[in-house]
Structure 1
Amino acid sequence: MLSKQLSLNGNALGGAVAPCLGNLTSLRYLDISNNHFTGNIASTPLANLTTLQFLSLLNNQLQVPMSFRSFANHSNLKVLLADQNNMVADEPTAFQTWWPKFQLEVFSMSNCMIEEHGNLQLPNFLYFQHDLRDVDLSYCDFGGIRFPHWLLENNTRLEQLYMIDTSIVGPLFLPSHPSFNLKVFDISNNKIHHDIPRNFCSLFPHLEGLFMSKNDFKTDIPPCLGGLRRLQMLDLSHNDLFGEIPEELRMSSSLANLILSNNSLSGKIIPTVYHLIILLEELRLDGNKFEGEISYFSPISIKNLQVLDVSDNDISGELPTWLWDTISLKILDFSKNNFEGPITMQLCKLINLDFLDLSSNHLSGTIPSCSNLQRMRHVHLANNRLSGTLSNVIFKSSPLVTLDLSGNSFTGGIPNWISTLPILSVLLLKENQFDGEFPLQLCKLQSLSIMDFSHNKLSGHLPSCLSNLTLKPSEKSYVDSGGYQFDFFDDVMVHMGLTIYNLTGLVSVYRGYPFTYHEEDVLFSTKGATYTYKGNILDLLSAIDLSCNQLTGIILPGFGNLSEIRGLNLSHNNLTGPIPSTFSELKQIESLDLSYNNLSGRIPSELTEMTSLEVFSVAHNNLSGPLPDRKNQFGTFDESNYEGNPLLCGPPLNKSCNGGNSPTAPNATSSEEEHGHIDMVDFYISFATSYAIIFLTTILVLYINPYWRRACFYFIEDRSIVCYFFIVDSLRQLPCFRRNI
């Protein structure tokens, strides 16, 4: 008996699809996804397998004609997955007249690369489909299309529609009749504007997931959304919604995840969150205009809340006491508000906490010591008024990935317990009052990628062990604590009488929403400015900043071993000695600042090999000699990069360099000999001339004045010795005599 199912999923196969597959004329299930197949799908033997019910082509380099005409005779086809391939236009984009023999239940072509640029439309065969249950057209740029309301009108069984980042423009046009089966509707990250239609809820009464983030809706939140009794996930973030959250939505008993981030919503934070935090698993209200205090209210119980983000609002008062009883919390973000008062020991009760951000508030006091927070990975307490030492503080031996305590008033030394954090990747302690020497134990942090100790009072030498750091990010910079799945793929497969062999990669139909996802961001100064790094960009950053301290000694050549580093700032210290030529090994470095030190010697010519360098400064040191050749990146630097070093010369400085053996620059020995010879000749001539002038002047005076003549004779007779010294003293007043005596 011939097999009716074949899976080649994930075997790294390449080249054209094998012609022998055309012999499997009874094949019903074919999965060639996650390989490296190439060629135009219309010229493969797949066009002959008309018995196929399931065909997965996803994640290859195949060329798939936008018409899908090569499958016109596949009358049994129910599932067609073409994600992550190259879509090509094989015909004009006008309305297609061919009539497909198949009626699909699942169609997916997300993450497609459209080779023919222009105003491409959706595949026209979709106009003739009436049994679709799942459609995914996400992450394909169709050049600006209107929302295809006809898909909903023609397919009354449609349960899931995904059109994320599909270049939908204009207002949201909806079908003329209700879609009672639609469960998931995702039109995120498009250019849809104007209002959310007021009849939206009546057209989609059974929605479970509604995602309309990153559009340009300018409206208030329709109160009817609170009446959708099956609605579990609602994301309206990154729009221009205004007004207050309607009471109907606040009282919803079905919602588990509510995302309203980055809008213009306003109102008192209480009673806004009163019922929401009791019923929800996730609540995000960050980036709005909510105000008031959250301290003095006591909900009956909070059993399910895992994510609470009210950052970047205008909320004030002390941290709420009820917060510490929310043991289910995994993500807590209260940053960028006006909270004040201490962080109490009650924080230690949040034993499931993974992500904590209380930065940019007015919190004061010390940090509690919590040895039981064994799941904590990300701690942000920057830009507050916290003080004290860290000797007995926090999260010892916990799986911390990020520790940001910047911009506070912490004192004392950097504690050794930080070296016990095995996967610490980001350590930010800048703008505090830490003193003492750099702790050598920190060199044990082999997962460290970003270290900022700038603007403190650290002293001593740069430790040589810093050169042993790999500076390779090893942990993801976000929190992903689970998700919620909308899937019916099993039902579809069972309905076709087929077995699911491998769902790896079938993300388009077996998808889940990780709504406890929280992207981390950190502030770091490099390239002369302060930037916010997050997501994949944060994962690429590797840097060390020890600027504005009291460090002394030399920069060791071993720093050239930091091959992965992208930013190094040692400015505003008391470092001495030469710039190591080994810096030329830093092939990834983009910013190098050594300014305001006491470095001496030449700037190594080898530094021109740092071809990724964008920012470079050695200003205000004691460097001397010619500058490196103006090639590669060094051709872009100007005088400001070298100012404050008066002994430097060469372009771009307005000071030329003279070679050591140039005829225009005689050496010191020859100069002294030449000057000595000239001075002696001048002396003899000056002496003879002066003697003659004095002698003749004396004779002339004595000849004219008889009284002086008689007095001089008497004087010479009695005081001849005194007269001699008088003459000598007169000679001493001559310039040349004075120079050569």
Structure 2
Amino acid sequence: MDLKLKLRPSFFLFSLVLILLLKVPDFVSAAKPKCISTERQALLTFRASLNDTSGRLKSWSGPDCCNWSGVLCDVRTSHVVKIDLRNPVQDVRSDEYERSSLRGKLHQSLTILKFLSYLDLSSNDFGGLEIPEFLGQIVSLRYLNLSSSSFSGEIPANLGNLSKLESLDLYASSLRVSNLRWLSGLSTSLKYLNMANVNLSGAGETWLEDFSKVTTLKELRLSDSEIKNLPLSLSSSANLKHLEVLDLSGNSLNTPIPNWLFSLTNLRELSLRWCFLEGSIPTEFKNLKLLETLDLSNNLALQGEIPSVLGDLPRLKFLDLSANELNGQLNGFLDALSRNKGNSLVFLDLSSNKLAGALPESLGALRNLQTLDLSSNTFTGSVPSSIGNMASLKKLDLSYNTMNGSIAESFGKLAELVDLNLMANTWEGVLQKSHFVNLRSLKTIRLTTEPYRSLIFKVPSTWIPPFRLELIQIENCQIGPSFPMWLQVQTKLNYVVLRNTGIEDTIPDSWFSGISSEVTYLILANNRIKGRLPQKLAFPKLNNIDLSSNSFEGPFPLWSTNATELRLYENNFSGYIPQNIDVLMPRIQNIYLFHNSFTGNIPSSLCDISGLQILSLRKNHFSGSLPNCWHRQFMLYGIDASENNLSGQIPESLDLLPSLSVLLLNQNALEGKIPESLQNCSGLTNIDLGGNKLTGKLPSWLGKLSSLFMLRLQSNSFTGQIPDDLCSAPNLRILDLSGNKISGPIPKCISNLTAIARGTNNEVFQNLVFIVTRAREYQDIVNSINLSGNNISGEIPREILGLSYLRILNLSNNSMAGNIPEKISELSRLETLDLSRNKLSGAIPQSLAAISSLQSLNLSFNKLEGSIPKLVKFQDPSIYIGNELLCGKPLPKKCPKDIK
């Protein structure tokens, strides 16, 4: 008989199960529900009081509550010990967050759970209800989190009954505390307390003493809590010696940094940002040897130099001193850091201060630094070559300084660099391939300098870099004339600014189509880029398109986009504006197409863009009538269709634009009268209708436009007299009625033009900046009156001398008679005076010589007589010709007294 048994695998499996059953007596009963019935019923009652629209508590229906979502039971006793119902969606701005929030109210059935040690209801929406007092009866709690759940009112004092509580989070914006004495009940257990955003203004001046009674406290967060007073000293009974984290940021403390902080030698994190702290940074920070995070940013008033002792702190990893008044140089602080063998600093932000001097070579000793922000100071000089030693650097921001040197070639060693910002300095020199060759992690580059492009990119045109950028902003640097390969391969861009970079090349269609569909900015302005744009592209997130001041040609790009700004001005675009522009660009607000060669009608679909604010079409070849369909643009405040071939009448429907401020339709072929309905646009500030075929009398209602700054109606066929009502325009600074058929005298009420009389309203180009170059065009005619080329009769009214801020006065080519006012020198700011081709008589006033600002004078072709005054600046005879009775220099005719 064979004693060797062949045992089957099933025998071993059976044996294993038998052993497990013997070893674990409860194994058989493991499939039975663990849940204690009274606790299950308590949870169901609690569930019934909640509104769960997202179905997060759908599992709360089976027999075993220990298996319900968010519920945890003790494995031995089966008692419920943990309820975690925090909102799984933490982005409060998202719709999903709202849908995932529990609502309703909290039921006191939770008090039945005698062994509950953990309760988290954070980030839900309990609609402003007060925190229920029964929570203070669950004395088994060790962890309670009610943060960001829309509770309001007074925090119940009986939370002080939770004598075992170790962590309490009440972060909220609608809770308040009248006293903090209840904290003494947590004095031997509480380690973590977050009352950020809780209003502690009613807690009195003893608030810090009350917190200090919690002797076990390790972390205290009280940011944005309406604390107004920070004691400069603590009583001997105060005990915060175990505190490791203290956050008082966002409170208006308005004190120096108190000395008692430096006795908290266990501090790892100290945040005092936005506290309006005053004075200097104390050297006593050297006592906080364990400090890892120090945030004193945005206090605005901290002064003095950065103490070198901060560089000696052996564990410091995060230092933010931004947005203060710190001054001096960095040498002492950085030298201390470089000597600190335990230096582990990974974040340093010193931006928005008054720090100065050159960046020292010791900067390179910060080998662990990942973020360095020195922006918005007054640093000078070059970037030190030691920058290449900062092998861990991921973000570098030197923007908005006065650095005027070169950029070190050692930049090319920063293989971990992701974000580089060198904007708004005065860089010079040459950037070569070696500056970029190892920047394999680079995602963002911002580099701008002064407009004369003294910083030059000199890399091989065929070089392909190791990085793929997501953001590029380069301005006033020489990249061109070619569009280099290192730019052509950047197809992951979602933000593009290449302004004034000297590119004169064409850009391949593949580059435009290869840009990320996530692109938000596309700015290629002030180059000489040639060629046509791809006709059909979709950029759903594009906010701003600026291709202005280039040499692009071809038709209007049919890009589907949600952009709010389109700048194509100063190019060679031609053809029509698409009739469906309202569909292609439904969110467009500002359209700048001036200085191109567009033709055809101005499409009426522009009237259907409800958010349109600015329409600038100047200097094209548009024809036909201006659309008469304006009805939905409640924000449209600027229309410039000047210097085109428009005909027909000014649309009546313009009066339906309640925000219309600027209307520039000059240099067209418009005819008819100015519509009466336009007076409904009471906010008009700038009107230019010159160079058309308009007729009729000057509307008297123009004087009712209280904001009117500029009125130019020159070179039309207006008739009648200047209405007295026009003198009622208090802000009028430019009046041009020249080249019409206006008759009658200048109204004596002209002195009522108070803006010219008193120099008020100094916003010289208000609402004109949107047309870019128009501000420059009108700059030289501010505070001017031009009535030339009409049939105006009568004398120059003495009242005009009250316009003491008048710079330009042109009354030429009229039928005016009488004398030039003797006291004309009262126009002491006059720069141009043209009274030529009238019937003025009498002597030239001697007081003209007293107007020191006068640069241009023309008195020719009148009936003036007598000796020409000694006007040193005006020795051109053409100024005086056509006055037969004038004599003296510079005319050849001598006066009788000079004849010997």
Distance in 2 of aligned mates of 1:74 and 1:604: 76
Report what 2:402 is aligned to: 112
SS in 2 for 1:154: coil
Look up the equivalent residue of 2:746 and give its one-letter code.
Answer: L
Report what 1:624 is aligned to: 865
The structural deviation recorded for 1:408 is 0.8
Which of 413, 416, 430 aligns to 1:145? It is 430
| 1:336 is the counterpart of 2:619 | yes
Q: What whole-Å deviation, never above 9, does each CA across 1:174-208 have from its counterpart, x for those lacking one?
A: 8743434x333122334432221245243x33322
Which of 167, 183, 192 aligns to 2:470? It is 183
Which of 770, 777, 795 aligns to 1:533? It is 777
2:538–2:560 contact (8 Å) kept in structure 1: no
Report what 1:233 is aligned to: 521
Look up the equivalent residue of 1:609 and give its one-letter code.
Answer: A
Distance in 2 of aligned mates of 1:449 and 1:111: 39
- For normalisation by structure 1, the TM-score amounts to 0.69
- Give the 3 Å change call, closer, same or farther, for CA 215–24 of structure 1 in structure 2: closer
Alpha-carbon RMSD: 4.0
| 1:163 is the counterpart of 2:448 | yes
Which of 790, 802, 809 aligns to 1:549? It is 790
Distance in 2 of aligned mates of 1:262 and 1:143: 25
2:868–2:887 contact (8 Å) kept in structure 1: yes
| 1:576 is the counterpart of 2:817 | yes
The structural deviation recorded for 1:366 is 1.4
Report what 1:55 is aligned to: 350
- The correspondence of residues 316-715 of structure 1 with structure 2, limited to 5 A, is 316-370=599-653, 371-394=655-678, 396-467=680-751, 468-471=753-756, 472=760, 474-475=762-763, 477=765, 518-522=770-774, 533=777, 537=779, 541-630=782-871, 634-635=872-873, 637-657=875-895, 659=897
- Give the 3 Å change call, closer, same or farther, for CA 24–300 of structure 1 in structure 2: closer
Distance in 1 of aligned mates of 2:419 and 2:828: 48
5+ residue gaps in structure 1?
115-119, 481-516, 524-531, 666-741
Report what 2:548 is aligned to: 261
The worse-fitting range, judged by mean Cα deviation, of 433-442 and 99-108 is 99-108
Report what 2:504 is aligned to: 218
Distance in 2 of aligned mates of 1:596 and 1:602: 16
The structural deviation recorded for 1:246 is 2.0
5+ residue gaps in structure 2?
1-260, 263-271, 273-293, 339-344
- Give the 3 Å change call, closer, same or farther, for CA 69–434 of structure 1 in structure 2: farther
Distance in 2 of aligned mates of 1:479 and 1:131: 46
The structural deviation recorded for 1:405 is 0.7
Distance in 2 of aligned mates of 1:581 and 1:131: 78
Distance in 2 of aligned mates of 1:172 and 1:454: 57
The structural deviation recorded for 1:595 is 1.7
Distance in 2 of aligned mates of 1:429 and 1:146: 54
Distance in 1 of aligned mates of 2:306 and 2:876: 65
Distance in 2 of aligned mates of 1:422 and 1:136: 46
Distance in 2 of aligned mates of 1:610 and 1:48: 65
Identity %: 27
2:616–2:771 contact (8 Å) kept in structure 1: no
Q: What whole-Å deviation, never above 9, does each CA across 1:702-738 have from its counterpart, x for those lacking one?
A: xxxxxxxxxxxxxxxxxxxxxxxxxxxxxxxxxxxxx
Distance in 2 of aligned mates of 1:641 and 1:652: 9
1:431–1:456 contact (8 Å) kept in structure 2: yes
1:559–1:582 contact (8 Å) kept in structure 2: no
SS in 2 for 1:625: strand
Look up the equivalent residue of 2:398 and give its one-letter code.
Answer: S
2:562–2:588 contact (8 Å) kept in structure 1: yes
The structural deviation recorded for 1:372 is 2.3
The structural deviation recorded for 1:407 is 0.8
SS in 2 for 1:350: coil
Q: What whole-Å deviation, never above 9, does each CA across 1:232-261 have from its counterpart, x for those lacking one?
A: 2212233222222124x6344553432222
1:542–1:566 contact (8 Å) kept in structure 2: yes
The worse-fitting range, judged by mean Cα deviation, of 283-292 and 426-435 is 283-292
The structural deviation recorded for 1:128 is 6.4
Q: What whole-Å deviation, never above 9, does each CA across 1:519-568 have from its counterpart, x for those lacking one?
A: 34449xxxxxxxx626xx57x93322111112222323443443433322
1:96–1:124 contact (8 Å) kept in structure 2: no
Which of 192, 195, 199 aligns to 2:482? It is 195
- Give the 3 Å change call, closer, same or farther, for CA 607–190 of structure 1 in structure 2: farther
Q: Number of aligned residue pairs: give it.
A: 587
The worse-fitting range, judged by mean Cα deviation, of 404-413 and 223-232 is 223-232
Which of 533, 552, 558 aligns to 1:245? It is 533
Report what 1:64 is aligned to: 357
Distance in 1 of aligned mates of 2:437 and 2:388: 21
Distance in 1 of aligned mates of 2:835 and 2:764: 31
1:237–1:259 contact (8 Å) kept in structure 2: yes
2:719–2:743 contact (8 Å) kept in structure 1: yes
- Higher relative contact order (CA closer than 8 Å, sequence separation 6+): 1
Distance in 1 of aligned mates of 2:651 and 2:363: 65
The structural deviation recorded for 1:44 is 9.1
- For normalisation by structure 2, the TM-score amounts to 0.57
Report what 2:204 is aligned to: none
- Give the 3 Å change call, closer, same or farther, for CA 418–96 of structure 1 in structure 2: same
Distance in 2 of aligned mates of 1:44 and 1:599: 77
Distance in 2 of aligned mates of 1:102 and 1:579: 79
Distance in 2 of aligned mates of 1:153 and 1:455: 67
Q: What whole-Å deviation, never above 9, does each CA across 1:488-524 have from its counterpart, x for those lacking one?
A: xxxxxxxxxxxxxxxxxxxxxxxxxxxxx8334449x
2:350–2:374 contact (8 Å) kept in structure 1: yes
The worse-fitting range, judged by mean Cα deviation, of 211-220 and 146-155 is 146-155
The worse-fitting range, judged by mean Cα deviation, of 152-161 and 205-214 is 152-161
Distance in 2 of aligned mates of 1:562 and 1:43: 59
The structural deviation recorded for 1:457 is 1.6
